[in-house]
Chain A
Amino acid sequence: MTMLNERQQLSYIAAQAADARLNVELETEGMTLNIGPQHPATHGTLRIIARLDGEQVVWAEPVAGYMHRGYEKLTEVRSFPQVTTLINRIDWLGSFANEVPFILAAEQLMEIEAPPRAQYIRTILFELSRIANVSLFLGDLGVQMGAITPVFMAFRDREYVLNLIEGATGGRFHPNFDRIGGLKDDLPKGWIAETKQVMKKLRQFCDEIEDLLFGNEIFQSRTRGVGIIPADVAKSYGLSGANLRASGVDWDLRRDQSLPMAWDQADFKVWTHPDGDSWARCWIRLQETREATKIVDQLIDNIPAGPVMAKVPRIIKVPEGEAWVSTENPLGEMGYYVVSKGDLGPFRVKIRSASFNNISITPWVLKGVYVPDIITILASLYFILGDIDR
């Protein structure tokens, strides 16, 4: 129990003692509260079993799997072009970002690389889906704490991004635009000018959310010092993305690894926060949305001319081999381990999705908190059910 901080340790001991005393003297026992699978705070079908002492959590455990769709297995009976239609649906809010690591892994096996124009457009769409994903988080945060207005603002401004994604790819949620060797199509005329406008609107949205929610003293008192995750614990539980950076670990795969994507052409800051509490996680995500709009703005003016598709055979057979590619997705590190036996489809795919690891810390971090804080902590950890259960 060395990983517990002092407050948690004390509250744990106190809770145990209280439990024991009550059990002996009054013959009462703590209450077991089932949060989920049908519960508004779990945005989906996550179930959390919490044992309460009053309103304090003594013990909590997440139960995942209520929405398991077996994508790892399903990919084995699909051909490579068909797989992208499935993995769109893992993190349904940032769906384009799901396709990229898989396609990169397949490209790595085939030893081809997308042309530079495709790389730029991929990166732009990747960041757009990050914005679409995280802006909804910023609104949802309010709803979890009882403020109803931010979520409508988030939906309002996310709509612009979704329209952009739909204009380019044809699908709002499931673009299915990435192909092995490049992209399905080029951008339609007028898209770039529109994107620049939308990015301005989103920066405005970030300011609005900061005024409405993040600047609110009630919000700060609800999140500051709640659900603290120190850096070593965060690392040992395999957290990634904003949750890890909020604990002060400066780790961003967009910057730290070299992939055939255009992130190295953009100048952006990777924000970290020393506190590791709920506030830090929310704040990091707000900053990341701003950074993402900046990345899009920088890249969109410099898209090189050329084709968007490399030369690939009409029927794609991926040579035998294994590849692991992970990218910095909106929720954290998402990776695909693709094993190919030279067939039309992959032999085995292992999907490493960020949310699954991110919620694995809940038993640790929920110990000793109050029931209302369960909701703030879960909201700030930010998981998408599809990303947990795959």
Chain B
Amino acid sequence: MPAKPKVPGLIKGLGVTMGTMFRTAKNGANTVQYPHVKETPPVRARGVIALREDNCTACMLCARSCPDWCIYIEAHKQLAPPRRAGGKPRQVNHLDRFDIDYALCMYCGICVEVCPFDALFWSPEYEYSEPHIADLLHDKSKLGEWMETVPEAPELEAGAQKK
């Protein structure tokens, strides 16, 4: 049990609120005035998923591992010019459609994690709310635009071991 306080709790409580008031007046508030001032989210923050289209092979791993099936991929096979002169033309998957429906997405990050070709990245960007829910379906060009906002992966804490 705590010792009986010498100052009555009623007075102490008034002191706390008054103290906070002066601290706010002196040091400024703990809040930020959002549209004018913005907080920078941490580097790892899961804001929006960016797509590097060149890396995607339409392997469908992300679409299959998504817990709420919000990734839509369509692709067709086409022949690409051979790597070496005189070689046979290669058969590649060309991405027709890569949509993520952010109205469904739970921001779990499994798709980014399973992608074997480093085509998906997290960006901490968060300001993409829309008046119409259908506009939350980002197609591959929009997802590609997010690539500019993807930060470098942070350095790790001491004692960490690279995988």
Residues of A within 8 A of B (CB): 78-79, 81-82, 84-86, 117, 149, 153, 156, 159, 163, 166-171, 174, 176, 184-192, 208, 210-220, 303-309
Contacts and interface: CB of A to CB of B under 8 A. Distances in A.
Contact of B159 (A82, A218, A220, A306): A306
B76 to A, nearest CB: 27
A217 B10 contact: yes
Contacts of A217: 8-10
A170 B156 contact: no
Contacts of A176: 108-110
Contact of B157 (A79, A169, A174, A189): A189
Contacts of B160: 117, 186-187, 305, 308
A79 B9 CA distance: 53
B46 A170 contact: yes
Contacts of A166: 41-42, 44-45
A174 B106 contact: yes
Given A79-B65, A188-B44, A191-B157, A211 B13 contact: yes
Among all A-B residue pairs, the 5 with the closest Cβ atoms: A215-B9, A305-B159, A85-B108, A186-B160, A188-B154
A209 to B, nearest CB: 9
A174 B10 CA distance: 39
B13 A187 contact: no
A211 B16 contact: yes
Interface in B9-23: 9-10, 12-13, 15-17, 20
A248 to B, nearest CB: 13
A64 B155 CA distance: 46
B81 interface: no
Interface of B: 2, 5, 8-10, 12-13, 15-17, 20, 30, 41-46, 65, 67, 106-110, 113, 122, 154-161, 163
B44 A81 contact: no
B101 to A, nearest CB: 16
Contacts of B42: 163, 166-167, 170, 188
B20 A167 contact: no
Given A82-B65, A213-B13, A169 B161 contact: no
B17 A305 contact: no
Contacts of B9: 211, 214-217, 219-220
A308 B157 CA distance: 12
B112 to A, nearest CB: 10
Nearest to A79: B65
A304 B44 contact: no
A208 B65 contact: no
B29 to A, nearest CB: 9
A4 B43 CA distance: 55
A220 B2 CA distance: 13
B16 to A, nearest CB: 4
Nearest to A155: B30
A156 B8 contact: no
A170 B44 contact: yes
B130 to A, nearest CB: 21
Taking each of B106, B107, B157, which has the highest tally of chain A beta carbons within 10 Å of its own beta carbon? B157
A307 B157 CA distance: 12
Given A79-B65, A82-B65, A170-B44, A303 B12 contact: no
